[in-house]
Structure 1
Amino acid sequence: MADFRVMVAPNGARRDKQHHAALPITVEEVVETAARCHAAGAGALHLHVRDDAGRHSLDAGRYREALAALAQAVPGMAVQITTESAGVYGPQDQLHCLEELRPPWASVSVREMARDPGVAARAYAISAEAGTRVQHILYGPSCIQQLRAWYKDGTVPSGMREAIFVLGQYAPPVLAEPDHLAGFLSATADLDLAWTACAFGRNERACLLAAIAAGGDARIGFENNLETPDGALLQDNAASVAALVNAAQTAGHCLKEG
């Protein structure tokens, strides 16, 4: 049996309340959701912020506001910001966010950063200088190949070994399946990664249970999935977290904090 951690990704960049009334948009809603998810067993939060119109934002000021509110309301919960482009931002914008904010923890898409290798090198260097933990977003073989090359040429510091494996995809929709995990594990076996998995669609919980059993951590939430395994709408993010934690503990796995 395995020890595991849970991160919640409660909103993402694309969905809004038309998709689910309980999807948090404002800082106040994110904070309330974070507190409930922390109580349900999520030790960390994957943070997206929105602009005044509810659109995806990488604004450092908005991040500072959200990080301060979360630190006050849920001091025991680790927070990871996203640098996701979501089709809105380019690598230079993503670099600017990292430079301005210098966050404790950030997720960075290898595929997106590879659009500008020079900016990528600067982004990883800034993160190393600031002490930012970087979690590399890996969508498939080409991302893994790029990350391996960047370790080899020094673009990515050798100590940055956190990654998230993305099973399935949002658009065009590809339903995640537990057997998708095997390809990531075999392709990264030589990289000594501390890895997490997330999964798109109603098989999310089954995929994450497979990841936990294989020695990984789990990221769950409305960014990736709104449905129960039988296709009904989940009540909210906290219910999703609680159901995963319960299923993993029933299978004999042990929840770790942080």
Structure 2
Amino acid sequence: MSEVFITVAPTGAESGYDDNPGIPLQPDEIVAQAVASERAGASLVHIHGRDRSGASSLDRGILTEIMHGVREHTDLVVQLSTGGGVRDSFEDRMAVVGLQPESCSLTCGSVNFGDEIFRNPYPFVERLYLAMLENDVLPEFECFDLGHVATLHRLLDRHGPPRQGVVHCNLVMGVPGGMPGTPEALLAARAQLPAGASWSATGIGRSTLPVMLTTLALGGHLRVGMEDVLRFSRDEPVRDNAQLVDRAVALARIAQRPVLDSTATRALLGLSR
């Protein structure tokens, strides 16, 4: 079967030490866990910023510090989140693109996010895509529901594909308010993706393993990390992000899908360091 690359998402915008003491909340902790995750087999890192208090932040200085630390100590493909937290402004989210990472996430529509709303109206999504095209930043199209896949097609029809020549999508599954983290939902979403698209899938919480195993069977790429899951099993909290990457590598080997390093991942995504 085809080769697979592994994305690690070390920390998101919501969880803290009370949820799991192993989650990295300081810039240096995020960099250290990125280094360990690369050693375990990850080739791309999805970065959220955290300030000195551990709170979610889109501060350009903090994101630059994390990005430079990752680049200094690893060869990981660097992807910055333009999602931030659900309360971040559109302008602060837009500004992330100007930091010139290799890739940025681009969420393709609004979604109920637990008790809140992650707002991504189409005019903002379109502006964000155009900014990525202008800055030669590869978008990773984040699709939380089938309607988001339709928005992806709308963007491509109106503005064409990314300049790297690769359409890469991440199907985010199991968020309360989004599509469920089930094999059936994954099959339906994958069937609607653009022909020839590169894709990965993310299972949130207890959907992590069903989504990962289905993705491996269908030929997709993997995303794991403490942004998405804080328990390794029913009785065991996640120790750190490298533990999740280790499991993904082991399952990929069982599925006989060789794991790509960062150089091969860049080639697949049309990127150059």
TM-score scaled to structure 1, two decimals? Answer: 0.89
Once the two structures are superposed, the pairs formed by residues 153-192 of structure 1 within 5 Å of their partners are 153-154=158-159, 157=162, 159=165, 161-169=167-175, 171=176, 176-188=181-193, 190-192=194-196
Gap change, CA 1:172 and 1:121, over 3 Å in 2: closer
Partner residue in 1 for 2:62: 62
Gap change, CA 1:157 and 1:3, over 3 Å in 2: closer
Matched, 1:96 2:95: yes
Instruction: Find the aligned partners of 1:174 and 1:223 in 2 and give their Cα distance.
Output: 18
Q: Is the 8 A contact 2:173 2:207 kept in 1?
A: no
Partner residue in 1 for 2:250: 246
Q: Is the 8 A contact 1:91 1:116 kept in 2?
A: no
Give the superposition deviation at 1:231.
Answer: 4.6
Paired residues, what number? 253
Instruction: Return 5+ residue gaps in structure 1 as ranges.
Output: none
Partner residue in 1 for 2:35: 35
Gap change, CA 1:14 and 1:216, over 3 Å in 2: same
Give the superposition deviation at 1:128.
Answer: 1.3
Instruction: Return 5+ residue gaps in structure 2 as ranges.
Output: 111-118, 263-273
Instruction: Find the aligned partners of 1:249 and 1:160 in 2 and give their Cα distance.
Output: 26
Once the two structures are superposed, the pairs formed by residues 113-132 of structure 1 within 5 Å of their partners are 114-115=120-121, 117=123, 119-132=124-137
Partner residue in 2 for 1:15: 15
Identity, % of aligned positions: 24
Give the superposition deviation at 1:121.
Answer: 3.3
- Cα deviations by residue, 1:41-80 (Å, 9 ceiling, x for unpaired): 1111110111233221112221111111111111x21111
Q: Is the 8 A contact 2:80 2:101 kept in 1?
A: yes
Instruction: Find the aligned partners of 1:143 and 1:156 in 2 and give their Cα distance.
Output: 16
Matched, 1:4 2:4: yes
Gap change, CA 1:174 and 1:21, over 3 Å in 2: farther
TM-score scaled to structure 2, two decimals? Answer: 0.85
Q: Is the 8 A contact 2:33 2:242 kept in 1?
A: yes
Partner residue in 2 for 1:111: 109
Q: Is the 8 A contact 2:106 2:129 kept in 1?
A: no
Give the superposition deviation at 1:161.
Answer: 1.1
Gap change, CA 1:228 and 1:178, over 3 Å in 2: farther
- Cα deviations by residue, 1:214-253 (Å, 9 ceiling, x for unpaired): 1110000111112234452122211111012112202322
Partner residue in 2 for 1:82: 81
Instruction: Find the aligned partners of 1:114 and 1:26 in 2 and give their Cα distance.
Output: 27
- Cα deviations by residue, 1:143-201 (Å, 9 ceiling, x for unpaired): 111121222222865846111001111x469872333211111222x443211111011
Partner residue in 2 for 1:236: 240
Matched, 1:209 2:213: yes
